[in-house]
A and B are shown apart, each in its own frame.
Chain A
Amino acid sequence: MAYDKFTILTSSAVPLPIENVDTDQIIPARFLKATKREAFGDNLFRDWRYNGDDTPKADFVLNDATYSGKILVGGKNFGSGSSREHAAWAVYDYGFRAVVSSFFADIFKGNCLNIGVLPVQVSPEFADVIFKAIEADPKTELEINLPEQTITLKATGQKESFDISGYKKDNMINGFDDIDYLQNIKEEITGFADKLPY
């Protein structure tokens, strides 16, 4: 489906400096029972965010008004485990448009790209710089420039480039969708299928 176009995002960020954040933490399995893509943001990080009686856990970053913004900065190996796209939906539905980490799990990264959340992989050193900058000033802003493929700490101008394939970059900037592309080469696909052993 078509999604929001992404060019330049300037925002403060929410820090989550924990490693190996798996998709079961991003959204636990018991919240995967919907048949529509609605309101997954309510259960983003459910068990880190709420107690068993549904009261917010005061020490979790999403419950701390000090931090806000459209960028989530996670620790190394963000999004590991289950392939549930619901995790990417929850991140998007909560209001994040980009996730920054020094390392992403494959499937989560792909899911984000497919729904218009930009995964920005930075060096471990730059991730540290970002975490420290947010710690020093929670309102500090990051600029993610997709056409330029750069992420900049606005206050100091420190910046780093990030990788994304030309194809995916184009898709995100224009809100293009893989299925539209594939539909347009359907004859090539069916011709190919006819030649396969099974």
Chain B
Amino acid sequence: MSTTLFDKVWDSHVVRKIADGPDVFFIDRHFIHEVTSPVAFLGLKERGIKVLYPERTFATADHNTPTINQHLPVADALSANQLKALEDNAAEYGISHWGLGHQKNGIVHVVGPENGITLPGATIVCGDSHTSTHGAFGAIAFGIGTSEVEMVMATQCIMQPKPKKMRINVNGTLSKGVGPKDVALYIIAQLTTSGGTGYFAEYAGNVFEEMSMEGRMTVCNLSIEMGARGGMIAPDQKTFDFLEGRLYAPKGEAWTKAVEYWKTLKTDTDAVFDAELNIDAADIEPMITYGTNPGMGIGISKNIPSANQVEGGEETYKKSLAYMGFHENDVMIGKPIDFVFLGSCTNGRIEDFRAFTEIVKGRKKADNVTAWLVPGSHVVEAQIKEEGLLDILTEAGFVLRQPGCSACLAMNDDKVPAGKYAVSTSNRNFEGRQGPGSRTLLASPIMAAAAAVTGKLTDPRDLM
């Protein structure tokens, strides 16, 4: 029978099927961080049980870590306590831990692939919805709750009903100034923030085939923003080249054998999906969001839709625009902004910093803009320096901070003040996401760069 990439990986990890219930689903790799793991460890302690396979769980601190002066003790007592709890728990249960200051530390979804922990055909979970990122390698990867974090540590399995399958095909040629983030925001705008709920997506078509691994990670990362549990892309030579030689990737003969297997991980030509979406790459413009969920996105040259043009209730829509301080039919270009955030598990990789730098090169940061440039990991940070990007950024008036989730969810001090506008390369524009009362406009790194140097929303194509 013809099967999809998703079927192949899913079915090979089902330990048993429960009648009228979920599958007992085996997890190959488990990432944990300081925020969603402490209560799971407490559960283990109360039950008096150990971690079944400590070598399959990897801990990193990222959500509430400061992005300056990481050599100093963490000033926020609650954050410090949570970081200490992760360190202690990892030590007690024999889990590798890349804490604050460790050279391998960084955002969980950046360091996983960087170290070859993420592999094609693997099943990967983490108590974080953007675990979908790892699908870029042909893995089934998705976010889980803390009860499930405990479940995975205790038994290396979770109870999961198999999602339905959706394929999103993007074919054709992307226009100038349109990158992976725009493709993802366009898809989410088409499907809305709930259109993918109940599905697992496969991204297919020449646009994804031609995309870099970093770009594929950006796209898969945002799968959850259309409600899909995750999204994946069939592994290819680019995937193998990215992984070869990385710390946890197979070596020698094991590598050759692995690649042989990975080459079989693709959807059969006549396999059937529960839903399919076809998009012409030429229809996609550089995207910007104007509302309070990631589905509220439009091309930068467009006006904000009126309530009768969008799906969903008018009351919710108007509440959203009121929060943003925007109005129906507003023009986006030219709107003044206050903050720019480059970073997060969505856009905190080297390619994102290259793209941002390309735009700000030879220009100056606008005086009215506070910019936070936060690499996704120390490896990315080092690469920014090695490639000479830091010199260009410094010349343009920008400062590079230290790795972490930072202003994406504002658990640390990187908070956008109430009422202020931030053009952010992160993944969520929910009310208060970047700080109480903050107003977030999601965009690509080059859109963020264009805003950073002009102090207002600007079509990045005008600066290219």
- Is A107 a contact of B145 with CB atoms below 8 Å? yes
Known A-B contacts A107-B144, A188-B15; the reply to A35 vs B38 at CB < 8 A is yes
- Take A80-B293, A81-B430, A178-B147 as given contacts and tell me if A29 and B82 are in contact as well, using a CB distance cutoff of 8 Å: no
B77 to chain A: closest residue by CB: A33
The dominant DSSP class at the B interface is loop
Do A196 and B430 touch (CB < 8 A)? no
Q: How near does chain B come to A59, taking the closest CB pair, in angstroms?
A: 12
A46 to B42, CA, bound (A): 26
Q: Looking at the assembled complex, report how far the CB atom of A85 sits from the nearest CB atom of chain B, in whole angstroms.
A: 4
Known: A18-B316, A189-B157, A193-B156. A37 touches B39 (CB 8 A): yes
Instruction: Please state if B155 and A83 are interface contacts (CB–CB under 8 Å).
Output: no
Indicate if the CB atoms of A1 and B129 lie closer than 8 Å: no
Contact across chains for A182 and B64 when beta carbons are under 8 A apart: no
Does B143 contact A183, Cβ atoms closer than 8 Å? no
Q: Are A165 and B145 in contact (CB under 8 A)?
A: no
Residue pair A179, B194 in contact (C-beta under 8 Å): no
Q: Interface centre among A37, A77, A115, A183, by most B CB within 10 Å? A: A77
Which of A5-13, A20-28, A135-143, A154-162 contacts the other chain? A20-28
Specify which chain B residues have a CB less than 8 angstroms from the CB of A114 in the assembled complex.
Answer: 145, 147-148
Q: Is the CB of A185 within 8 A of B198?
A: no
B436 contacts chain A at the CB level, 8 A cutoff: yes
Residues in A with CB closer than 8 Å to B374 are none
Indicate if the CB atoms of A182 and B433 lie closer than 8 Å: no
Chain B 44-66 interface mask (CB, 8 Å, partner A; 1/0): 00110100110000000001100
When C-beta atoms are compared, the residue in chain A nearest to B80 turns out to be A33
Q: Is B411 within 8 A of A52, CB to CB?
A: no
Contact (Cβ within 8 A) B293 A189? no
In the complex, the answer to whether A103 meets B197 with C-beta atoms within 8 Å is yes
A4 within 8 A of B: no
A163-197 contacts to B (CB < 8 Å): 165-168, 178-179, 181-183, 185-186, 188-190, 192-193, 196-197
Please give, as numbers and ranges, the residues of chain B lying within 8 Å of A189 by CB-CB distance.
Answer: 15, 24, 26, 52, 155-157
CB distance from A190 to the nearest CB of B (A): 8
At the interface, yes or no: B94 with Cβ under 8 Å from chain A?
no
Instruction: Give the contact stretch, choosing among B120-128, B234-242, B355-363, B378-386.
Output: B120-128
Option from A19, A24, A30, A197 in Cβ contact (under 8 Å) with B428: A24
**A to B CB contacts below 8 Å, 24 in the list:** A18-B319, A20-B194, A24-B428, A24-B430, A29-B63, A29-B411, A29-B433, A32-B35, A33-B82, A52-B437, A81-B129, A82-B428, A83-B143, A106-B198, A166-B20, A167-B159, A179-B43, A179-B155, A183-B155, A186-B155, A188-B16, A189-B155, A190-B52, A193-B26
- Other A-B contacts than A107-B129, A114-B147, 14 sampled, CB-CB below 8 A, are A20-B312, A24-B431, A29-B409, A35-B38, A75-B313, A81-B129, A81-B430, A83-B145, A88-B145, A105-B227, A167-B19, A179-B151, A183-B49, A185-B15
Q: Which residues of A are interface residues toward B (Cβ below 8 A)?
A: 1, 17-20, 22, 24-25, 28-30, 32-37, 47, 52, 75-77, 80-86, 88, 103-107, 110-111, 114-115, 165-168, 178-179, 181-183, 185-186, 188-190, 192-193, 196-198
Which residues of B approach A to under 8 Å, CB–CB?
12-13, 15-16, 18-22, 24, 26, 28, 35-36, 38-39, 42-43, 46-47, 49, 52-53, 63-64, 76, 78-79, 81-82, 85, 119, 121-122, 127-129, 143-148, 150-151, 154-159, 161, 163, 193-194, 197-198, 224, 227, 229, 250, 258, 261, 293, 312-313, 315-316, 319, 409-411, 418, 428, 430-433, 436-437
